Amino acid sequence: MLRLKRNQKGFAPLETVLIIVIIGLVAFVVWYVFNTKSNTTSTLGDAANTTQVAKTPSKTTPSTTKTSTATQVVTTKTSSSLGQYLADTSGKTLYTYGADTTGVSNCTGSCLTDWPVYKATATTNLQTNVTVITRSDGTKQYAYKGMPLYYFTGDSSAGQVTGDGVSGFHVAKP
């Protein structure tokens, strides 16, 4: 039988090294678990968590024939000053215009210089409350609950909300 010589504290040098290694491994596992649990995406500014707006229509709706998941074009962000608001999939803030009506965009001409439309690339199988309208110039634009969606050129990066309240435009709300 192998006998280890004990030091003054009661542990052999090999036992001390093994205890340190075990403590280090346990600490690493705890760190790894806590750092991989987070599913949120942080953005610039004061925007915080990103979540998806309802991706698929209800399966109990008799007229629903879609079998695949809806195309996500809108996400929900949270701002400490504004609460929840809508953004595109890149995190850029979306706005609505007070002069618009359901399904009709009234931002034309020079208005579009500062407020470019959120152009529709997908027109079918969209998430709940997202539709596509046809503008007077024939282009397709995304709308949320019927209200056309726009960007603000003053927002240079994701998470910025500098256009809220400017020229009759407001951050789009879910």
Q: What is the DSSP string of 130-155?
A: EEEEE-TTS-EEEEETTEE-B--TT-
- Report domain extents, the chain: 40-54+72-174
Condensed to tens digits (0 to 9), the pLDDT of residues 94-112 reads 999 999 999 999 999 999 9
CA distances from 23 to 26, 27, 30, 51, 118 (A): 5, 6, 11, 37, 53
Q: Which residues contact 30 (CB under 8 A, 6 or more apart)?
A: none
Chain mean position to CA 122:
18
Say if pTM beats, i.e. exceeds, 0.75.
no
Cα atoms in the 13 Å half-sphere on the side-chain side of 155: 27
Confidence of residue 26 (pLDDT cuts 50, 70, 90): confident
Distance CA 103, CA 87 (A): 19
